[in-house]
Amino acid sequence: MRIKIKDNILTIPDKLIKNIDLLDIETANAINTLIQKGERVISQKKKDTAKAALKIKMTKTKEKIQNAINLLKLQGKPINPYQISKLGGVSYSTARKYFKK
């Protein structure tokens, strides 16, 4: 017999409950608590990974924009969000957002 877990609720087959009297409410609650703690840890790891990926992406975008600005300065062309987006390979709205900074 397997113990199934659905939506943070421990479901135990009736055959198992009838055959084993050792599983009481305290044991079921303890198992549920362990399951919920494990889900919180996994959830936090996903959030940390997402934050790290976003930080790397923002850093690369800033580097692209800075490189485009430097190249435009060397070429003597006007520096505006359109030129930055065209040369840096980023969207216009992203270039405009970072250009203000």
How many structural domains comprise the chain?
Answer: 1
Tens digits of residue pLDDT in 14-61? 555 554 455 566 666 666 676 666 666 666 777 788 888 899 999 999
6 beta partners:
9
What's at 70, amino acid-wise? N
DSSP letter (8 states) at residue 11: E
* Cα separation, 12 vs 28, whole angstroms: 9
* Cα separation, 71 vs 83, whole angstroms: 10
Whether 63 contacts 99, CB under 8 Å: no
58 Ramachandran zone, left/alpha/beta (phi>0; psi -120 to 50): alpha
- In the predicted model, what is the mean pLDDT of residues 73-92? 93
* Domain ranges, residue 8: 4-100
How high is the pLDDT of residue 91?
94
